[in-house]
Structure 1
């Protein structure tokens, strides 16, 4: 009896449970889209943002970039020809260096320069100085001309009585040095003309006269020190040095080859050159270096193996 009552109550409760579930399911189906809409509209996580906005990926470095191929012969030749200055159509006359050993007495310089001037030579450089011998002076002359005419002038100079010898160092390995003293402005190229015309050595007065509204004393100080620093670094590159500094200029000393001095003068010209003095070129031949082993090998080759070459078969 009790079992039949329990089964009947269970069958009665089943439709109620099914109806309750049926009532709940539509509610879930209605609320589920709203939940999903709220989550998608308010989602700002980094992962979803990166997925929706992918980063632009740069292409990987190719092997040509990491290990570039060497240039071809055509590219190398084109590069060399482009960087090589063109050869002039008219060749300049050859430069000759005379080293004259003369007697240390008055009038020798005028006689030597008179002979060269009579032949129409323009002397590029002439330096006369004493030597280790009291009665002997060394005269270094640099001039340009044809070899035949230069040789005739050398012989004519050697015929002079106070001249001991005249050596032509053309084609020999020589040490060339020239001394340069140059005064450069540190105020700027726009003040160079005012510095030359002004008798006042104070450069700050020139800066104040030509200064703009923005040119304060501090800016003027930075400008002059910036120019001085640039000149000092440039002098160190050419193995020179700044020997004097004032409020508006600096004096630089440089001893080098004439070509390097010409290059240095061109580089400091934008700063403003106030004065320049060059001593002229001095030259001295390099001493040869002898190797004892090479001399022994040469002597052994000259001695030979002791075989008479006339007894050998022809060929």
Structure 2
């Protein structure tokens, strides 16, 4: 049975701290006094001991997060990254083969030290099951692009935009006057020239789409919609090549990534120990008769 001195018995928060201090002094002796730093020491510590900014360049990182399929997970995860100053390039969320589990693929730029701190902070969230960094992993990356391209030519791009006012249209009172003849708005002399030029643009965009393994999903009298599924860099290259024709609208889904499976060699090469008995002497007693 232990007996405590009533003078040091804790009765409140302040007395509890003093009681712990009293027990520490009885067990380990008095706490050594630390001299307070002077003003010069404090200023020197701030000037010379403060680490400078990292000189490492920012790299592209891909985080694959397995999260619980419940409301509010996306806002909490993006809030953690936004609090650390990361600008998210793309964010894709979709269900997996497990009904209660969703996969989030996040792409952004940052430094390795900051990314590791953010990854550990994301793992501490309750609805997050796992966070994997695919930065140095061999991946299969795919992104879907839907792009609407003009087939009338870049000079008519402003007329096809939804911001064009109705007052800008030209009205022709005489029915015999063709709207494609000798006007500042159109450069073609006859409707046949306009049709040939439109067909030429349509054929050029179609050939470009085939080179990138894309697919034409819609064609109208003045535009066409192309679907392309490829790597992000290939999608960006396709959009740059489509700019001279006139891009009316573009929509990208974001990066979806999956690590590549390793290839195992099932045909192991024969080693030297397989032939170690070739030069051994043959026992004549083990041979069959004759």
TM-score by length of 2: 0.67
Q: 1:290 aligns with which of 264, 269, 277?
A: 264
Residues 116-175 of structure 1: CA distance to partner in whole angstroms, max 9, x if unpaired? 000000001100000111000000000111101101100100110000000001111100
Partner of 1:103: 68
Measured in 2, the distance between the counterparts of 1:91 and 1:262 equals: 26
- Map 1:115-264; keep pairs closer than 5 Å: 115-196=80-161, 197-198=163-164, 208=180, 210-212=185-187, 214-264=188-238
1:93 aligned partner: 58
What stretches of structure 1 of length at least 5 have no aligned partner? 1-89, 306-315
How many residues are aligned here? 207
Shift of 1:293: 2.6
C-alpha displacement of 1:93: 1.4
Counterparts of 1:174 and 1:121, CA distance in 2: 22
Q: CA RMSD in A?
A: 2.5
Deviations 1:159-198 (Å, cap 9, x if unpaired)?
1000000000111110000000000000000000111134
Q: Which residue of 1 aligns with 2:29?
A: none
Structure with bigger gyration radius: 1
Structure 1 residues 92 and 179, CA, compared in 2 at 3 Å: closer, same or farther?
farther
Match of 2:78 in 1: 113
**Alpha-carbon separation, structure 1, partners of 2:206 and 2:77:** 41
CA distance in 1, matches of 2:223, 2:56: 40
Q: CA deviation at 1:292?
A: 1.7
- Structure 1 outlier segments of 4+, above 4 Å: none
Higher relative helix content = 1
**Structure possessing the higher relative contact order (Cα contacts under 8 Å, 6 or more residues apart):** 2
Quick one: which of 246, 253, 257 aligns to 1:272? 246
Normalised to the residue count of structure 1, the TM-score between the two structures is 0.62
Secondary structure of 1:117's aligned partner: helix
